[in-house]
Amino acid sequence: MNIHQSDRLQGLPTQFFASIVAKVNAAIAAGHDVINLGQGNPDLPTPPHIVDSLRHEVRDPVTHKYPPFSGLIELKQAIAHWYKQEYDVDLDPAKEVAILFGGKTGLVELPMCLLNPGDVALVPDPGYPDYWSGIALAGAQMHMMPLVRENGFLPDYSQIPQDRLAKAKLMFLNYPNNPTSATATHEFYADTVRFAEKHGIVVASDFAYGAIGFDGEKPASFLQTPGAKEVGIEFYTLSKTYNMAGWRVGFALGNADVVAAINLIQDHYYCSVPAFIQRAAVTALTSSQDCVRDLVATYQRRRDVFVGGLQKAGYDVLNPKGSFFTWVPVPGGMKSMDFADLLLEKAHVMVAPGNGFGPHGEGYVRVGLLNTEARMQEAVERMTSI
């Protein structure tokens, strides 16, 4: 019997990062010492006090049972307290917080909650490719908003055609930005709230890198903006803030109707994140945040080594303001993929070609600050020697 995948499944975009992993693995199998800076997987371990909390909680037989479908109320309360402490944002834990199997899950679920075939979602270009996946699963359409250096890698809403605006129901934003490392201002978010109100568009702020800001600057949360909860939500994950990528725990915050829609779809997919992980997440959010400050300082030192080295070598690369990525212009007019392949073949350094993040990513490569300072320095030396 021939098994045929559904049209919806066949319409999914190609998983961009899978091809990067395959290339790295092939180079390593050939015996090369590859410095892999092409992925967004934190390289440092989860802080010990969070791991110890998990060890304690998993021994409690209560955590071996099904947790409440929408998650533990104590985690929702910890999230609300943490957002108040960090951003002075007030949240109702019962109605304005949804627990997620990592931020990616919520980002893919959201279009299926809000969009119908023929509706339009506005997405950043370049941007995180998994935004596209949820839109495809909803049978909706995308309109890409160019992010260019001349505009600080912020979208220009005045350039969106009126016929696309008329059908737009959802917009994704992501600051600190993956892949450009740009940050957003409070003024930009105020403009965004006005724009969303005018056109009836739900804003989805992907704040995955919210904890990582450099040079003493704290990245702004969309939810700090007056009126933000009326027009949208924010996604947060513990993956980057606490090096908990493999734990798969995140949350969506803000508009109660959107949170209810996410909880509804998750009722049909899951029975919530394991309770012992949720309890350990409470520990992460309610304990000292010194580990987060230490992590940001580590990334800044790596940034200074890597970007400073490229700048000395003549690369026209900006200092990242946030995230753990660097957005490096491709030298000599080469294509992004060609330059990435050249670096892997000649320098044994893996980077992510910018065109994998959208058409306006062409001409750049994304580099993760996800290795030691010594290896970041070695990567500079390898890249500048070819």
Q: Which residue type, as a one-letter code, is found at position 212?
A: I
* Separation CA 305–CA 35 (nearest Å): 15
Percentage above 90 pLDDT, the chain: 93
Q: Which of 34, 70, 132, 45 is nearest to 275 (CA)?
A: 70
What mean pLDDT is reported for the chain?
A: 96
Cα Rg, the chain, nearest whole Å? 21
Q: What is the pTM of this model?
A: 0.96
Strand ranges (DSSP E) for 6-49?
35-36
Contact 91, 84 (CB under 8 A): yes
| Res. 332 pLDDT band, cuts 50 70 90 | confident
Q: Which two tokens stand for residue 80?
A: 């609300």
| pLDDT tens, position by position, 162-172 | 999 999 999 99
| Res. 87 pLDDT band, cuts 50 70 90 | very high
Contact 50, 283 (CB under 8 A): yes
| Res. 19 pLDDT band, cuts 50 70 90 | confident
The larger pLDDT score, comparing residue 150 to residue 271, is at 150
Per-residue pLDDT at 15: 77
Which SS3 state, helix, strand or coil, does residue 365 take? strand
pLDDT greater than 90 at residue 20: no
Range scoring the smallest mean pLDDT among 16-30, 140-154, 181-195, 247-261 = 16-30
Residue-range domains of the chain with CATH: 7-45+290-383 (3.90.1150.10), 65-286 (3.40.640.10)
| pLDDT tens, position by position, 338-376 | 999 999 999 999 999 999 999 999 999 999 999 999 999
